[in-house]
Chains A and B, each alone.
Chain A
Amino acid sequence: MLAFFLLCCCAAANWIRGVEPDRQSLYQPDDDGLWACLGNPEIKISFDRINDDYCDCPDGSDEPGTSACSLGQFYCANEGFKPNYLPSYRVNDGTCDYDLCCDGSDEPDGKCPSRCAQMKKAWDEETAARNAAIAKGLAKKAKIQHKAHKQQTKLRYEITQLSSEIEKLEQELYGLNQLQAPTEKESAIISVFEQLDSSLERLSLQISEKLQQLNSKRHNLRNLEEILETMSNEYNPNFNDPAVKAAAQAFQEYSVNQGLTKDEKGTDQASEVETLFANLQSQLKDSEAEIRKLAGREVEDENELFDFKSTFKAMVNSFLGVSKRHQKIPSTRESEKRKKEIEEELKRLRRDQQTKEERLNKDYGPHQILMAMDDCIVDKIGDYDYRLCFVEKVEQIDRNGHAVRIGRFERTEFDEEKQQLKLIYEHGDKCWNGPVRKATVLLECCEKDTIVAVTEPEKCEYTLRVKSPIGCFEPDEV
């Protein structure tokens, strides 16, 4: 067949090299022996200038079989496999472009023997293997999808449940609010306590925030000192910079003269807390005075006041985490107490509902499949372990078990052309000398979850190649 074809094309006197059979008819001289460039018909050239290795047509149509035109296209018949077009700049350049021209027709005869048969065979085998892998992957993926679907249904159900619960409580609250309001005096006292309550709450928040800040600063400082200590101890001058030498020396001096944070008892926070308590005390005094004023003589029992004091104490304790946060605000009526309870409960339920809705609406990829990917995988790539928790984060863990967060799961992207799902992780730990770390996970189809490769093309911007069933797609899926 091939022989016949060759014979046939050689026999045809004006068979034009590099043109596909269906387009051969476009290459015919007119009566004057001229031919018009296909894309620029206003330009007419002598027919014998086709494939004369000199570019006359801006669109390259006069040189389909040579490399003379930069925009030209060369047709490879690739008998036995798929025909293809090759850009002209790859024609007659001394290299066999088998990727597009398996028949080797892009180079002078004999230079590139055809590989179409073996490439077809390899392609078929690859395709079969790939299809088999895809089939397995897809089967696994269907299970995952099913799980994701179930989770979605469950979430939806829970959200509905929460809605009705919320509705019920709201009704009850409405009813309570309809009940008679407390006396003026009671309200005044309550409002004083409420004010106290809220200011104490603020105070408590401030304290815990400050403590947190302090602790994290201490922690950072300790980390920093550890880093510097490591550097100054283990420093071999491997990096070509005197700044390091200077830094190491400065640190040694610092550690001798200042003492390191790890040896220190944390006196600063204490004094700050003391100030906060002094403020609290004075506020307490003011409140006392006000209650006296409000109650006038009606507050006869010193014990009653004492009760207030102990309440404060309890509150303070609870703020500082001494006992469980649970205030005992004196309420003149059960209904007030119930209202508070309901409000608390509503807050909790709404928060719960919101979380569930966010989860339901978050970008978990096509058909929310990632919702079912609540597990983590760890693989060693190079010097590090990489831990990928699909819908949570990516981490890099060094030999000493120290983990750096590369990113938190943000969203997915789908590359239509490549049929590839990408997971985007952002807001990782900041790089020392660069940006905040982030990662893109490129998913490939496989039955099993594995991290195959990690690269860092840009500093602190990672690309992970990950195999997973969720990377499998039917060619026409999505």
Chain B
Amino acid sequence: MRWTPFVLVWLSLLPVEAVKSFLFKKCSESGFCSRNRHFASEVEKLGAEYDSRYSIDLESLEIDPSAGYLHATLLKMLNDGSFVSLDMNMSVLEDDNLRLQIDEAERKPVVDHVTRQRFNETAKWALAEQPRLQSFMHSVDSDRITLQFHEYRVDIELHPFKLTFVRDGKAQLVLNDRNFMNIEHYRTREQEDAENSIHVAPEESTFDAYTDSFKDSRDDKLPFGPEAVAVDVSFVGAKAVYGIPEHADFFALKDTTDTEPYRLYNVDIFEYETQSKYPMYGSIPFMIGLGETGSAGVFWLNSADTNIDIRKSESQVQTHWISESGILDIVLFAKKTPTQVVQSYSKLTGHSALPNIFSLGYHQCRWNYNDEEDVLEITAKFDESLIPFDAIWLDIEYTDDKKYFTWKKELFPDPERMMDKLGETGRTLIVIIDPHLKVGYDVSDTVAEKKLGIRKNDGSDLYHGHSWPGESVWIDGMNPDAQPFWDSLFANGSRLLGSATNAHLWNDMNEPSIFNGPETTAPRDLIHYGDWEHRSVHNLWGLTFHQMTYNALIKRNPNQRPFILTRSFYAGSQRTAAMWTGDNMAKWEYMRESIPMVLTMNAAGFPFAGADIAGFFGNPDKEMQVRWYQTGIWYPFFRAHAHIDSRRREPWVAGEPYTGMMREAIRLRYRLLPLFYTQFYKHSVSGTPVVSSLAFDSPENPDVYTIDDQFFVGPLLVKPVTSPNTHTVRLYLPDDKPYYDFESFEKISGKGYHEVEAPLDKVPVFLRGGSIMPSKERYRRSSRLMKNDPYTLYIAADEGRATGELYIDDGETFAYQEGEQVFARYELDGAKITSTVESTYDTDVRIERIVLLGGSRATAATVEQGGQKWTAEVVDQGTHAVVRNPRPLVAKNWTISLN
């Protein structure tokens, strides 16, 4: 124990208690949340008697239907009958979505060093590009405006302001349905405190409007006083709502009437609890509602501290969105299916870039692999154990005294040599770089000198706080001048990565995590580039950091797809990073929770997600470890990680039979890499989830809405075992198609529950009838070394028909963007299998085997490709038949006829 963590000692002595709840604000301790919940409850008490204070001033209306937008003044009535004017912009976005933006027309400057406007740049960071608008038809009369486009209609009631989004004649979303709209307009403390103040309505509370009474944030200056934005949205006809990660909760969100709201505030939540609405490391303010007749979405483009209340009833799900500051910016979606909703959301915020294929392999991480020798020994041990892996990770201890961009030379005398050695077997090194920069060395000195960091609340000097290295400054990803400096730190030949081509990055602690800050993060009145207060940018700040790293890596090597893992994220983070669910524990409930968390990320357009296997804190027993690998191979991001105090637990440590079971699980993931890669490709072009919940797969079936312990990866239905001493699982089949056990090839069928065997050496996974799935069956040491291996196709016919896809490219460069790719569509029709290929990528790879599930009476197959014809044997294996070595080139069209 070279490192002397006093702290950890104390931790271990204290009774094990999960999250330190006193560290985080409850709604009742949070000014804006408490005020808005109070407001909502007062409005609700008044019921029909209540007159909303918000109305549209018809005279101000400007409509440009062909350009797709309208502008109007939204009036907020004060106690004396006077009005505050708010700017309202409404636009119809391409893809039939509706966007509403409300900003305060005028805010007087209060302090010089803070921008006087409400923060209006959330969209700039979150959206992939400026959204295109589409035209609409409209009509205006004295009490309403109506917009129409395609099968949609928008009814805007002028007084009180209320908006109904209608698809096919049915209301899907109603905004300000319950009159919870509340935009806390600017007023001075004197104005607010004055007797009979016109600014504070009777239904409003003034709790913590100008000061913060929460014990860790009393210093908050709150220069603008109360500035919250809030509105309610009803999902009409919805039976369930999903999304708004990140929470350690069910997939289907719960009613919050008698609990805390779901909170979105990026925090380093130490030892988080499961089944909780506490905020976590990242935020995506996007929610999907689902009912039998349709699906709707709400995207709340606000990066301040946000709370969401949910109330469920028979006929609808009502939501209440509350943010501390910023403008009101909301996008509404209404589609037939939840997949279409997330696809449309993904188009707006960007798809996950097609990953470098190595990053879909197995990642071996630990805090910490101690030195070069340790790294290379672990690598050798994997090969000895015949277990593939792709990336080995270095946590913070590799640095010299936690100074990022340095190496501890005694431990890593020659990092490039080490990376070269890893590269020989196609392996990658992933190193951690965090945004806190220890004071007093060249990197932080430059940040200070060029003022590239987050500034103190008076806007003067850089803010100093504490994190792993002790006193630190934080480089500000919002500052455009930070990018070139960051680029230089990663440039080829630089101190950190030298000229290695197999190095990628891990960005942690970017909430930001500040150990001496309120709620373990930055004080809200710190100042960012653009003179914006931290409170308004908080949730997107982590994105600015990992995006800056992405840009730097692209500059380092323009023709290599960078891999970056981030802990903090916001809507849009998926474009440049993968995420993991942070510091979980080696306990069964965390394994269970990882599935709904990953499903939620997929539902929120960020599929490249995973959880630490087999629990970051603590020591998993061997059974738990095996089960966690069997679960983890299905995470799109597949990484094992362990805390420095936990015992070594690489797969060979447990010994047989456990090591063998983990080996089989990891190898299954590698066999299925073609499937995962194809899933990611499809996401990258159309926004479909990589891992799909049953609710997304079968949205017309309400029985599946709350199922979150099984899921689909393409055509594979998976139900991991996440409890001890379990030998069978109850598997739900969402339809009447045949399903084939992927190990025994036995068939089960019939919509509803089935009890299936699940001994410790088995992952319950089933191939759905009607599908064709690619795999690569040969063990190699890493995914790169599989590149030239032949494919196997599994065909599970449903009434003699099946379809499937396979995507191939070089796996690591951007040549695919120039069209160097293969997309093959497979179709089985009776006895004929057809491959239709769009391809400009040249590869000699062939298909070595076709496995026909359910068997075949054929004895031979005729292969036709490129005008040539040859035969292949068909071998009957009882439960299935195998077309032996048909060998068509995968990148060209072919047909195979079964005789």
Query: A residues near B, CB below 8 A?
Result: 52-54, 67-68, 70, 89-90, 92-95, 227, 231, 236-244, 247, 381-384, 431-434, 437, 453, 455-460
A6 CA to B748 CA, complexed, in Å: 56
CA distance A431 to B520 in the complex (A): 28
The number of chain B residues with a CB under 8 A from chain A is 56
Given contact pairs A94-B785, A238-B467, A455-B371, enumerate 20 new A-B contacts (beta carbons under 8 Å).
A53-B848, A54-B884, A67-B789, A93-B781, A239-B515, A240-B513, A241-B11, A242-B23, A382-B411, A383-B2, A432-B8, A433-B9, A433-B645, A453-B371, A455-B374, A456-B1, A457-B370, A457-B648, A458-B647, A459-B1
Residues in A with CB closer than 8 Å to B9 are: 432-433
B6 contact from A68, A227, A382, Cβ within 8 A: A227
What's the least CB distance linking B667 to chain A, in Å?
Answer: 10
Contact A384 B2, beta carbon cutoff 8 Å: yes
- With A94-B784, A94-B787, A238-B515 known to touch, is A244 a contact of B10 (CB < 8 Å)? yes
- Contact yes or no, B644 A459, CB < 8 A: yes
Q: State A109–B884 Cα separation when bound (angstroms).
A: 27
Contacting residues of chain B (643-659) with chain A, CB-CB under 8 angstroms: 644-645, 647-648
A312 to B244, CA, bound (A): 84
Task: Mark contacts of B1-37 with chain A using CB atoms, 8 A cut-off: 1 yes-contact digit, 0 otherwise.
Answer: 1100111111110100000101100000000000000
Are A434 and B424 also in contact (CB < 8 A) when A93-B780, A239-B5, A247-B10 are? no
B784 touches A240 (CB 8 A): no
Task: Using A89-B779, A94-B788 as known contacts, say yes or no to A241 and B1 having CB atoms under 8 A apart.
Answer: no
> Judging by beta carbons under 8 Å apart, are B11 and A243 in contact?
yes
Residues of B within 8 A of A (CB): 1-2, 5-12, 14, 20, 22-23, 268, 270, 370-371, 373-374, 386, 408, 410-411, 424-426, 466-471, 513, 515-516, 520, 644-645, 647-648, 778-781, 784-790, 848-849, 884-885
Once the chains bind, are B779 and A70 in contact (CB under 8 Å)?
yes
A238-B468 contact, Cβ under 8 Å, with A70-B778, A95-B425, A95-B785: yes
Closest 3 CB pairs of A and B: A239-B7, A54-B885, A93-B785
Is chain B's interface secondary structure helix, strand, loop, or mixed overall? loop
Which B residue sits closest to A404, measured CB to CB?
B1
User: Which of chain A's residues have a CB closer than 8 A to the CB of B425?
Assistant: 95
Q: A247-B10, A456-B370 are in contact. Are A382 and B2 (CB under 8 A)?
A: yes
- Please, which residues of chain A bring their CB within 8 A of the CB of B789? 67, 93
- Interchain CA distance A453-B647 in the complex, whole Å: 21
What is the predominant secondary structure among interface residues of chain A facing chain B?
A: loop
Known pairs A382-B411, A383-B2; A238 contacts B787 (CB<8 A): no
Closest CB of chain A to B731's CB: distance in Å?
30
Q: Once the chains bind, are A237 and B516 in contact (CB under 8 Å)?
A: yes
Contact A455 B1 (CB under 8 A): no
Best-buried of B1, B374, B520 by chain A (most CB within 10 Å): B1
* B884 neighbours in A (Cβ, 8 Å): 54
A149 vs B402: C-alpha distance in the bound complex, in angstroms?
Answer: 51
Q: Are A457 and B374 neighbours in the complex by a CB distance under 8 Å?
A: yes
A93–B374 Cα distance when bound, in Å, is: 25
**If the complex has contacts A455-B371, A459-B644, are A241 and B7 also in contact, measured as CB distance less than 8 A?**
yes
Chain B residues near A460 (CB-CB < 8 A): 1
Instruction: Using known A-B contacts A89-B780, A243-B7, A453-B373, determine if residue A458 contacts B14 with beta carbons closer than 8 Å.
Output: no
Task: Report Cα–Cα, A237/B517, bound state, in Å.
Answer: 10
In the complex, A378→B786 CA distance in Å?
48
Question: 26 pairs across A/B with beta carbons < 8 Å?
Answer: A67-B778, A70-B778, A90-B781, A93-B786, A94-B426, A94-B784, A94-B787, A94-B788, A236-B471, A239-B515, A241-B10, A241-B11, A243-B20, A244-B7, A247-B10, A432-B1, A432-B12, A433-B9, A433-B12, A434-B1, A434-B645, A453-B371, A456-B370, A457-B374, A458-B647, A458-B648
**Chain A positions within 8 Å of B645 at CB level:** 433-434, 459
Asked whether, in the complex, the Cβ of B885 is within 8 Å of the Cβ of A52, the reply is yes
Q: For residue B648, which residues in chain A have a CB less than 8 angstroms away from its CB?
A: 457-458
A68 to B788, CA, bound (A): 12
In contact, A459 and B471 (Cβ under 8 angstroms): no
Query: Shortest Cβ distance from B39 into chain A, in angstroms?
Result: 32
**Contacting A240 at CB < 8 Å: which of B268, B424, B644?**
B268
Pick the residue among B1, B8, B785 that contacts A239 (CB under 8 A).
Answer: B8
Shortest Cβ gap from B308 to chain A (Å)? 27
* Beta-carbon nearest neighbor of B268 in chain A: A240
Bound CA–CA A442/B386 (angstroms): 26
Residue of B nearest to A383 (CB): B2
Contact status A242-B778, CB under 8 Å: no
Closest residue of A by beta carbon distance from B426? A95
Complex Cα–Cα for A166 and B601 (A): 82
Contact for B270 among A67, A89, A237, A241, CB less than 8 A: A241
Nearest Cβ in chain B — how far from A397, in angstroms?
Answer: 12
Q: How far is the CB of B364 from chain A (nearest CB, A)?
A: 14
**Alpha-carbon separation in the docked complex, A54 to B884 (Å):** 8
The answer for the CA separation of A389 and B240 in the assembled complex, in Å, is 69
Structural contact, A455 and B373, CB atoms closer than 8 A: yes
A54 to B12, CA, bound (A): 55
